[in-house]
A and B are shown apart, each in its own frame.
Chain A
Amino acid sequence: MRYLRTTVAAVALGAAVGMAPPPAQAIDPGRIQNADKNPNDWLTYHGSYKSWHYSALDQINTTNVKNLKVAWIHSPGRATRGLQSFPLVADGVLYYTGSYSRVFALDAATGEMLWSYIPQLNEDLIAAQTHTPYTRGIALGHGHVYVGTMDGRLIAIDMKTGKPVWETKLVDSEKLTVGFTGAPLVVKDKVIIGAQGGEWPWRGPIFGVDGATGQKKWEFFTAGGTPEAQKTWGNESWRTGGGGGWMPGTYNAEKNLVYWGTANPAPLYDWAGAKWQTEGPRPGENLYTSSVIGLDPDTGQLKTYFQTLPHDAWDFDDAVGEFVQLEKNGQKYVVHPNKGGYVYVFDQDLKFKNAWPLADNINFIKGVDNNGKLIGRRDLPEGKSTDLCPAINGGISWNSGTYNPQTGLYYKVGNEWCMDLEVVKTTPVTEPMVQLNIGANFTIKDPPGGKAYGHVDARDPLTGQTAWRIDFPEPPLASLLSTGGNLLFVPDARGVLHAYDARTGAELWSHNNGLGHNGGIISYNAKGKQYVTVAVGWGSLVGEGYGALFGEPYKSMPMDQGYLVTYTLP
């Protein structure tokens, strides 16, 4: 593996247009730490370290949302697999990335472009990748915009000029095939980013990089990252164990812990069946895959962890990077959804407190006991299995829900679908270039007795008690937003952006954006007005299967277009 750090010169194209950006203030660690106290901005992927995906702004509210209109639209171009990214806002400037790590800075009030940064990428490599070419987000800090690339680099861009400052090669993507698609996270002086992994026979590192210089400071392997962990992989299978942490986690300053979710092990499906402790391609519990981990941001040392799915045999990983930090009755909690359809509740040290099912159709386990142990796991031996629920797409997907402190409710999408599969003994492809290792053929299907569908639930985040719920004919695949105006915004799969009363679920407004939603949504203040910005564009790996499962409008929905749409009141 090669680790190269180079100073960027002519390898990237930066273009500034005539208008000077508004004056920007420094985005230092203290400002990010207090992001939840300044709703004018949206400084990090999850809104703040609390990860509420909530804006306290209330200029747009339940009484006037019916008047919401489009303010401006921006197209990033080259929107292969749509627009899956998450915009950020600081000091009246909106920053976002499209596919191929194309980064833009826009006047947040008008959409006028301030600068663009179009990196030169290894296009031959990208053509060989499966989970590509989307880029799901960026990070701000230390005067930079940070973006990962699918060819394994982390790049710092001057947030005022759009010029590249440094780039660091972190992953030998030319050999390992995978790179970065998730957003980085700025914590103190570090930029933290997780590599793609999962079904790829590698070890899914999470990296800590000096935000000022680009120097790599640490690397944590999610597959066999400690001597203790390597003992949980028979036959040294950690060497091709998968893992990864492909979506950003968050930070707890009180504990000095970075929370991160890790991906599934490889191969996805394991022919050992119930004998997984001693047989099969990866005997053992496979630490730290399908886990939530707490890392020291200064050193990358593992401080705590909880493995939700020991020896994950279903691709129900924890790389959903959502860690909602909240306090109730004097106790502090971390709420984390798992792809299997359960929502886990931990204390700040990731000690298990509770798990409740969000999805209706779950039969890969019968439940989770009071200690977080799986009850009645359904391991899959070589050969056919039918009606496994949820399907590989997950009872929960990677986009985020939202917690609203005014209602005390957590809003989250649940997915209802199942699949038949035939587990096959496979051998990983590791030379000359690594390939994904699935280990099965499968068919996604309707749940027993009904059609596949989705729902948005308003739940007590700690107990899962349902306040209200809205069903959708297909699972929405975008992030949700709630606001201080008691609004819940749901961008759906067909392309309609809905606004609901967050207290009751009553629909108050909708607008058809013409393409499915598969990315982020935020709210911010620019020049005294509140705006809502949503990513529009269809084509994620899950969304690609909607045509076969649901028919139109997905069969004919373009998967090479995308744009940002921003709304405000007249």
Chain B
Amino acid sequence: MIASMRGNVLLLAVAWVAASGWSAPGACAGLDVKSDEDAARLFATVCGFCHQDGGRRAGKGPQLMGTTRSDEFIINRIATGKPGQMPAFGASLSQEQIEAILHYIRNLKPKEATGS
């Protein structure tokens, strides 16, 4: 199961998103994220286009594995994006989904280490 220990940080980010004019994120059809595998699927659905090798390498977007950015920064960046470089997902992904992606990023390992 996805850990929920970062909930407070996420709530802050969501509050920021709401204040910026976005409607509060809602549930996304067919995409419950109840496991690490679900989070990986979500990443491959919407994030893998820019973050190569599942986030392990730089491509259009930066490498995510081993990032030193804070949880708050990552959640904010997912929710609000960066103009001209990264879309804002705050209106299309739920709180749970954004948290799941953060969890996925934090647990990224080189493929050799995972044996995959």
Contact = CB atoms under 8 A, between A and B. Distances in A.
Interface stretch (A211-219, A510-518, A540-548): A540-548
B40 interface: yes
A80 B86 CA distance: 12
A429 B80 CA distance: 18
A435 B45 contact: yes
Given A80-B84, A427-B31, A443-B53, A436 B58 contact: no
B73 interface: no
Contact of B52 (A81, A429, A444): A444
A432 B91 contact: yes
Chain A interface size, under 10 / 10 to 19 / 20 to 34 / 35 or more: 35 or more
A426 interface: yes
B30 interface: yes
Contacts of B42: 426
Interface stretch (A48-56, A126-134, A186-194): A126-134
Contacts of B52: 441-444, 548
Contacts of A124: 20-22, 88, 91
B101 interface: no
Contacts of A420: 53
A467 interface: no
B59 A545 contact: yes
Contacts of A435: 28, 45-46, 89, 92-93
A505 interface: no
A309 interface: no
Interface residues of B, number: 41
Contacts of A132: 87
Interface in A522-559: 539, 541, 544-545, 547-548, 559
B110 interface: no
A302 interface: no
B41 A426 contact: yes
A432 B90 CA distance: 10
A429 B53 contact: no
B92 to A, nearest CB: 4
A128 B84 contact: no
Contacts of B16: none
A541 B89 CA distance: 18
Contact of A438 (B45, B92, B93): B45
B44 interface: yes
Given A435-B45, A559-B84, A128 B30 contact: no
B106 interface: no
A438 B60 CA distance: 15
A492 B89 CA distance: 34
A309 to B, nearest CB: 20
Contacts of B91: 124, 128, 432-433
A440 interface: yes
Contacts of A442: 48, 52-53
B41 A545 contact: no
Given A124-B21, A441-B53, A429 B84 contact: no
A434 B53 contact: no
A439 interface: yes
A422 interface: yes
A434 B30 contact: no
A95 B104 CA distance: 47
B26 A426 contact: no
A129 B83 CA distance: 10
A431 interface: yes
Interface string B11-32: 0000000001111011111110
B45 A427 contact: yes
B44 A539 contact: no
Contacts of A434: 92
A433 B84 CA distance: 19
A441 B44 contact: yes
Contacts of A81: 84
B44 A426 contact: yes
B89 to A, nearest CB: 7
A439 B21 CA distance: 30
5 nearest A-B residue pairs (beta carbon) = A424-B44, A80-B84, A441-B54, A433-B92, A426-B45
Interface of B: 20-23, 25-31, 40-46, 48-50, 52-55, 57-60, 80-81, 83-85, 87-93
22 contacts: A80-B84, A124-B20, A127-B80, A127-B81, A128-B91, A129-B87, A199-B49, A429-B92, A430-B30, A432-B23, A432-B25, A432-B91, A434-B92, A435-B45, A440-B48, A441-B44, A441-B52, A441-B55, A443-B57, A544-B85, A559-B85, A560-B84
Given A127-B88, A129-B87, 18 more contacts: A128-B81, A128-B87, A130-B49, A133-B84, A267-B45, A426-B44, A427-B45, A431-B27, A432-B27, A432-B91, A438-B48, A439-B45, A441-B43, A443-B53, A444-B52, A541-B60, A547-B58, A560-B84
